Amino acid sequence: MIAMFKQYLNAMRRNPMGLIGLIIVSSFVVMGLLAPYILTRPEDAWGLTYDVGKRFKPPSLEHLFGTDECGRDVFNRVLLGTRFSLMVGVGVVALSLAIGIPIGLAAGYVGGKLGTALMRVTDMFLAFPPLLLAIALAATFGRGLFNTMLALSLSWWPWYSRLIYIQASSVKSMPFVDAAKVVGLSELRIMFRHVLPNVLTPVITQATLDIGSAILEASALSFLGIGVPPPIPEWGLLVSSGWQTVSRAWWISFFPGLFIVVTVLGFNLLGDVVKELMDPRLRNLMAMRRMRL
Amino acid sequence: MPVNKAILIAVLVLIVVAGSIAIYYIVSPRPAMPPTKVVVYASLSEMTTADPSTEFSNSIIWLPLVYEPLLWYDPISDELIPALAVNYTSSSDGLTWTFAIRHGAKFHDGTPVTAHVVKASIERTIALGEGAAYIWDPVDSIEVLDDYTVVFHLKYPAPLDKVAATGYSAYIFSLKVVEHAGASSLTDPKVAEWFNKGNEAGSGPYKLAKWDPESEVVLEKFAEWWGWELPEYPMKSDKAPDVFIIKVVKDAVTQEKLLLSGDIDIAMYVPLDNLEQHMKNPNLQVLRKQSFQNLIMLINVKKPPLDNVLVRRAIAHAIPYDDIVVVARSELARVASGPIPHGMWGHFDNLTFRYDLNLARELLAQAGYPNGINRVFILTYTAGDIYEARTTELIKASLANIGISVEIRPLSWEEQWALARKGWEDPGAAQDFLVFYWWPDIVSPFSFLYNMFHSASKVFNLCYYENPEFEALVEEASVFEGIDKAKALELYYKAQKILYDDVPATPLWDMVDIRVAKANVGNLDKAVNPAYPTVVFAQVLSVGD
C-alpha cells in the first residue's frame, strides 16, 4: 500500500500536469460533496424561487457569477451543479463498467459460441455513433437524472467489454490459469479472482479518462433538452438556459461552461498519470526519458 | 489562294463586327430596368402540405398570399374586409348567406373567378373533410344564383362571414387543377398530389415560384391581381415587394444573427430578452402585436383533491401572473383575463385571478388543508418551449409557498397529449396540471370555450370538466353570434363567469407577438394580423427603392 502510494507520488513528480489534474479533480469532488452545505442561497441553487427585480445582473461581489433570467444567483447554481455533473460522470462510467466487464469477461474467458454471440451484441451497440445512440435512448426513456445516466451507459459499455474481451482471451491461456484449473477451482472463481485482476489495468485507465467525456456528453444531452430536467442545475442545462441571451448576459452560460471545461481537463490530466502508473512499460520509458533529460 | 483569302476577310469582318457590338453594349447606357425588390422572411418551422383544402398547419404562412378566401377578417377592429366577395348579406334568421363575387378577379392560370368555382372549391373542401373542413359544418347546401352570386343555406345559424374568412380550408382555387393533375374529379387524390408537388391554382397577389418545403418558398408578384388596381383597397401597397421569400430558419438565435448580418429582412422570432437592444438599433424595427394565442393551465377537476373547487381557487390565487409575464416573456404578453385573449371579440377585462397568497392559504384551510397538501402534483408542458418552461418553474416556486409541491414534467406534445387523454377514462392516471397553448381556428370565443371546456370535446377538454349549464350557454351563444351579436356577447360572458367561479383552468397569459425587421420594411404593422398567425401579408408591405 505504502509502496503504491510512493509510486504514485513518484509519478506525480515526474508529471506535474498530473498533480494539477489531481488537485482539480479532488477540489471539484470536495465542492460537489459539500455543495449543499456551503450554498449561500440554497433556494436559488435548487431553483425554488425567483426574483423579478434581479434579472440579468452582471457579476458583482453580491453575485459572483451574476444572476439569470429568473433573478437567481448563477454562482450558487453552478456550485450545486458540480454535484450533479460529477454524479452523472462517475455514475455513467460505473454503470458502464458494471455492464461491460462481466460481458467482456464472459465472452473472453468462456469464448466459443457464447463469446461470439456476446461480442456480436457488443458490436451492434458499437455500430451506432455513441452520442447519437444516447440521444435516441434518452428521448425514449424521458428526462431524469437516472435516465440520463442509463442512456449514456448503454451507449458506453461496449468499449469496456471490448477491452476486457481482448485481454481476457489472451490471459486465459496463461499457465497460472491452467494451474488454477488443475487445483480444481470453479470456473467462476477463476474468472473473477484470477483473470479479472489481470485484465483490469487498461479498463481502469480508460475509465478515468472517460469520466470527463461522460460529463461532457451528459451536458450535451441536457443542452439539447433531453437530459436532466429543469430546475435541477446540471451544467449543460445551465449553459443551455443562458444560450438564448448570451449576447446580453454572457455570464449565465459562461461560468457553467468554464466549469465543464476545467473539470474535463482535470480528469484528462489525471487519466494520463493513471495510464502511466498502470502501464509498467510506459512507466519505465518515462523514467528513462527523465534520466536522459 | 483566293478562297482562303475570302475566308480570312470574312473572319476579320466578323471579329470587327462582334467587337464593336460588344463595345457598344459595354459603353452605351443600359435601358433603366426597375430593380427587383426582394423581401426575405424567416420562418421557424418547415412547410407542411400545399393543398388549400386540407392544409391545417405551417403552410398557412404562405397560403394566404397565393390563395384568397371570400373575405378577410380584421379582428382588432372586428371588421370583415372584402376579398373574392365584394359584399354579402345574411337573412334575419342567420340561415341564408348571399355573397356577391368580384368581377374581374382571375386565377394565375388565367381563368376567371366565378360563383360556380367558389361553390366547387368549398364543396371539395367539405367532401375531403380534412384539415379545418369542419368550419363548414353549418352549411347545408351551396347554390349558384348567377355567375357572380353564391348563396349558402345553413343547417343552423352560424357566423358564416367569419367562417369564410378563416385562415385554413376557406380558399378558392381554379378548377383547372383537375386537368393539370390528370385527375378524374376534384376529390381525386391526384389533385392533392399535384398541389404537393409544388403547384398552385390561386388567385392571390403572389404566385408560387419555388416550393422547397424544408428550406424555402419563393413567391413572385402576380401582376394581374385585381387588388393592385384598386386605389382604396386596404390589403395592398403600391410598393409591395416583387419577390417574397420565406426561408426556414429553425431557431430564434440564428434568425437574429441573419437579421443583423442582413441576410433576412424579417425575423419571425428573436430571443425576447434581447429585444431591448434591437429597439435601440436604428437599422431595425420591432413590431409588437397582440396575438390570439394564449397559455393556459388546465386543472384535472376529477382527481382528488383537485375535485374540490376551493382547492382549485386557492391554486388560481397562488400563481404570480405578473411575474410570470416578466420572466417568461420579457413582458411580451399580457396577464390573461379569462380564456379569451385580449383584443378579441368576447374578451372581458374583469376575469383575472388576483395573486394573493393569504387568500390562497385561507381557501386551502377552508377546503380542509390548513398545512398544505401532502402529495406531489404533476405538471406537464411541451418540452423544448422555453416560455412554457419558465412559466412552469415560477408556478412550482410559487405553489410551494402554500404547501403544494409540484413536479414539472416536460414531455413531447404527443406524450403529453396521450397522457392527458387517459384522463377521461381514468382521471387518476392523468396529470394534475397541463400547460399548453390555444389559438382559434375560427376567430370566435366558441373555439376556446367549446374545445377546452365542453364535455363533447374529449380531445382538447383536458381538464375533464363537465357542466351542463355552461355547455348550454356556449351552444346558445354560438347560434346568436350569426344573428344577434349583443345577445351572444352576454351569453359568452356568463359562460366565462362560470369558468371563473369553477376554475377548471387558470388562463396564464395572452401572447404579444413580435416581428423584428429591417427599418426599411414599411407597413409591417398592417401586414401582421392575429387572425392569421405567422403570416406576413407581403402585398401590404412597402419597400423603398
Question: In this complex, is the C-beta atom of B384 within 8 Å of any C-beta atom belonging to chain A?
Answer: yes
Q: Does B277 touch chain A (CB under 8 A)?
A: yes
CA angle B366/B320/A57 to nearest 5° reads 145
Give the residue with greater pLDDT, A156 vs B2: A156
**Contact check, Cβ <8 Å, B409/A225:** no
Report CB contact under 8 Å: B273, A47: no
Task: Check pLDDT > 80 for residue B18.
Answer: no
Q: Is A113 exposed, middle or buried (0-12, 13-18, 19+ CB in 10 A)?
A: exposed
The pLDDT score that the predictor gives to residue B136 is 93
Q: Average pLDDT, whole number, for chain A?
A: 85
Q: Do the chains contact at B273 and A48, CB–CB below 8 Å?
A: no
Quick one: pLDDT at residue A200?
Answer: 84
Let me know the angle formed at the C-alpha of A85 by A80 and A88, rounded to the nearest 5 degrees. Answer: 135
Cβ within 8 Å, pair A47-B389: no
For the stretch A227-276, pLDDT in tens is 887 778 889 888 888 887 887 889 999 999 999 999 989 998 888 888 77
| Least confident residue range of A8-17, B33-42, B158-167, B527-536 | A8-17
Cβ–Cβ gap B323/A52 under 8 Å:
yes
pLDDT at B260 over 50: yes
In chain B, the percentage of residues whose pLDDT exceeds 90 is 72
pLDDT of residue B57: 80
Closest residue in chain B to residue A225, using alpha carbons only: B384
Instruction: Collect all residues from A whose CB is shorter than 8 A from any CB in B.
Output: 47-50, 52, 55-56, 69-71, 142-143, 225-226, 229-231, 243-245, 247-249
pLDDT category at B16 given cuts 50, 70, 90 is confident
Is residue A290 very low, low, confident or very high in pLDDT (cuts 50, 70, 90)?
A: low
Q: How far is CA B337 from CA B260, B354, B438, in A?
A: 36, 10, 14
Contact list in A for residue B327 (CB cut-off 8 A) is: 50, 52, 55, 69-71
Half-sphere exposure of B450 (CA within 13 A, CB side): 16
Domain map of chain A by residue range?
1-38, 81-249
What pLDDT is recorded for position A48? 82
The arithmetic mean of pLDDT across residues B294-299, rounded, is 96
Q: Is B393–A50 a contact, with Cβ atoms under 8 angstroms apart?
A: yes
Over 60: is that where the pLDDT of B29 sits?
A: no
Phi/psi for B224 (5° steps) reads: -95, 15
User: Residue B140: is it exposed, middle or buried by C-beta count within 10 angstroms (0-12/13-18/19+)?
Assistant: exposed
Residue of B nearest to A139 (CA): B412
pLDDT tens digits, B103-125: 999 999 999 999 999 999 999 99
* Global confidence as pTM: 0.79
CB contact residues (below 8 A), chain B span 364-383, against chain A: 383
How far is residue B156's CA from residue A208's CA, in Å, rounded to a whole number? 74
Q: Is B386 on the interface with A (CB under 8 A)?
A: yes
Among B390, B410, B415, beta carbon nearest to A229:
B410
Q: What is the pLDDT of residues B140-183, one digit of tens each?
A: 999 999 999 999 999 988 889 999 999 889 999 999 999 999 99
- Res B32: pLDDT: 55
* pLDDT(A182) > 50: yes
Q: Residues B402-411: pLDDT tens digits?
A: 999 999 888 8
Count other Cβ atoms within 10 Å, centred on residue A66: 22
Dist. CA B261–CA B407, nearest whole Å: 42
Q: Which of B195, B188, B190 is nearest to B66 (CA)?
A: B195
Task: Answer yes or no: is pLDDT of A74 > 90.
Answer: yes
**Residue B419: predicted pLDDT:** 92
| CATH architecture of the region A81-249 | Orthogonal Bundle (1.10)
What is the residue whose three cell numbers read 399535384?
B194
State the DSSP string of B15-61.
HHHHHHHHHHHHHSPPP-PPPPPEEEEEESS------TTT--SGGGG
For the segment A171-200, the average pLDDT, to the nearest whole number, is 86
pLDDT of residue B545: 60
Residues in chain A: 293
Assign A293 a pLDDT band (cuts: 50, 70, 90): very low
Q: How confident is the model at residue B394 (pLDDT cuts 50, 70, 90)?
A: very high
Query: What is the structure's pLDDT at B27?
Result: 60
Q: Is the pLDDT confidence value at B31 over 60? A: no
Residues 66-125 of B with CB under 8 A from A: none
Chain A, nearest residue to B398 by Cα: A49
Q: CA-CA distance, A135 to A137, in Å (whole number)?
A: 5
pLDDT (0 to 100) of residue A236: 86
